[in-house]
Amino acid sequence: MPYSPKSKEETKNMYGPKNHGWIEVIIGPMYSGKSEELIRRIRRAKIARQKVQVFKPEIDIRYSKEDVVSHCGDKEDAIPIKNSNDIIKLLDEDTQVVAVDEVQFLDENIVEILNKIADDNKRVICAGLDMDFRGEPFACVPKLMAVAEFVDKIQAICMVCGNPATRTQRLINGIPANYNGEIVLIGAKESYEARCRKCHEVPKDGV
């Protein structure tokens, strides 16, 4: 029989940890399909009859207050949380899989908490932006990537040239936002688009 390469998901199932939990991180720019991939893994876990709890930062209300929603419209029920400690308060003992969307909006303590959850023999799946609009490491995500067993970086399509995109371009009235703008600014297509390294623009004051 010809060799058939296995997906990363199948590889985790076959060769991943068998007697302890682990952390998976899905990263990339906006419009790369991070939430879509998170939802896909959540649904596969549910098909396997595993108990899943899904969390999201309460500040993310772009599409729904109580759902993880992909840009293509797929969604899964989620528990909105104000900070990372809420996960511990709301986590059921018999939960097997913990999923967190938009993890970059949570406080730095999220890394320690998710580590503890994985140490408690649970599978942890996170999705978030690895870089902010300036193209710099975003909040807790680099530390989370460092302690994770599996990291999948997904690319989008550059809205300017069509090349693979790894950056998130912030636009204010159609103009690239200044470097000194606020790091967290919730928005969708009216404020952001995916761009490649070459097309990503971040003007600085006086430059």
Q: Which residues are catalytic?
A: 102
Burial class (CB in 10 A: 0-12, 13-18, 19+), 106: buried
Q: Pairing between strand 150-153 and 164-165?
A: unpaired
SS (H, E, C) the chain: CCCCCCCHHHHHHHHCCCCCCEEEEEECCCCCCHHHHHHHHHHHHHHCCCCEEEEEECCCCCCCCCEEECCCCCEEECEEECCCHHHHHHCCCCCCEEEECCHHHCCCCHHHHHHHHHHCCCEEEEEECCECCCCCECCCHHHHHHHCCEEEECCEECCCCCCEECEEEEEECCEECCCCCCCCCCCCCCCEEEECCCCCCCCCCCC
